[in-house]
Structure formats: structure tokens, C-alpha cells
Amino acid sequence: MNAVPSSPPARLTAQDLVRLKKYLSDGLLRALEMEGIPAAQRNAFVQQNILRVYEQTQLKLPEDLKKEIFGQVLNDLLGYGPLQALLDDPDISEIMVNGPKKVFVEKKGQLSKTNITFDDDDHVVRIIDRIILPLGRHVDADSPTVDARLPDGSRVNAVVRPVAIDGPSITIRKFRKDKLKVEDLINFGSMTGQMSHFLQAC
């Protein structure tokens, strides 16, 4: 496990924080393995023990920064990392990750770049594994592409190096539980009112 910087909070760099998150994640994963925690108790164990692992670093981060770091680590271990908030947003229909610093969404028919980022390529790959390993799938240099379907019906495509030249990519097409209505298509700009009237007349 990588060492955590001992410098005071004011001197911590972005890379130091990346190392801290990896330290916390590795420590919690090792504890889960050593304790043999069953899947049903995994969430509670991680939430109860993250502070203990953090205190081993002897760092004294400001409370707001510590809370942010803890939240990111918990999302990585228990959810889908930086993508969790996007997956939870019912208005987002598609998520596209093109490397660690380019995350796009389709929301109400409009494509836009988000302010969501990953730490680095390895972080993207860890989240890909987090998504597909429970589905019995894997992706690596020998098998660099994968298509899968999440339990809720959402479709996932992931590509890693060497095929993904600009960094690992993920596309998640979320499953709509409700069917699109004509009014939705008009609101999204996919159809005009005139087109709607024409189709209704056919």
C-alpha cells in the first residue's frame, strides 16, 4: 500500500489526495478480505471502519475536506464512484466517459459536458471493474472491450487500452422505466408540434 503524505493539510497536493483515497480504499478492501465480511454486511462495515483507517494516517484534514474524501471513497467501494450521482439522476438518459477528465451526459435530449472527473486512468478502470465484475464480466489488455447489462436494464459498454487510445471509456445507456410520450419528444427538441400533428393524422 502506498504511503500517505505526512505534510500538513495546507501543503497537500491533488496527487496527495489521490494517494490518500487509494490508501483508504486499499485499507478497507484488505480489512474486508481479512475479516471475511459477507456481502450483506459490506456496506455497514466500510462505513464504520473508514474513520479507523483514516486515523492511521495521522493526518488532520479540515472537516469539510475529510467529509468529501470519505464520500468519494465510499462511492468508489459501495457505488459507482464519480458516476453515482449521474446514475441517480432520473433526467439523465446516457453517460459517456472519454478518459478521466471528460464526462458527458445526455439530459432531456441535450448532450453536455459535466464537471465530474476521475483521478486518473486507473480510477476509471477500477469503476469499470466495479460495474462489470458482479455481472461476471471482465476487461483487460487481452480483452479490451465489454458489453453488459446492469440489473436495472441499463446497457454498459467499456473500452480500455490498447484499444482506448485516449484513456478508458464507459458508455451507460440508462433504462427508462417510463415510455417517452410525444410531449417529451417535443420538449427535448426531437420533434416539432407540426410533426406531432402530422403523425397523429396518419
**Per residue of the chain (202 residues), what is the pLDDT tens digit?**
455 554 444 578 889 999 999 999 999 999 988 888 887 898 899 999 999 999 999 999 999 999 999 999 999 998 899 999 999 999 999 999 999 999 999 998 899 999 999 999 999 999 999 999 988 999 999 999 999 998 888 999 999 999 999 899 999 999 876 554 556 555 545 455 565 555 555 5
Tell whether 68 and 138 lie within a shared domain: no
How many Å apart are CA 86 and CA 75, to the nearest integer?
Answer: 12
How many Å apart are CA 182 and CA 188, to the nearest integer?
Answer: 10
Q: List the domain range (segments joined by +) for residue 13.
A: 9-78
Q: Taking the model in full, what pTM does it have?
A: 0.74
How many Å apart are CA 74 and CA 31, to the nearest integer?
Answer: 14
Q: What is the pLDDT of residue 184?
A: 53
User: Phi, psi (5° rounding) for residue 23?
Assistant: -60, -45
Q: What is the pLDDT of residue 183?
A: 60
Tell whether 111 and 64 lie within a shared domain: no
Tell whether 90 and 72 lie within a shared domain: no
How many Å apart are CA 48 and CA 158, to the nearest integer?
Answer: 32
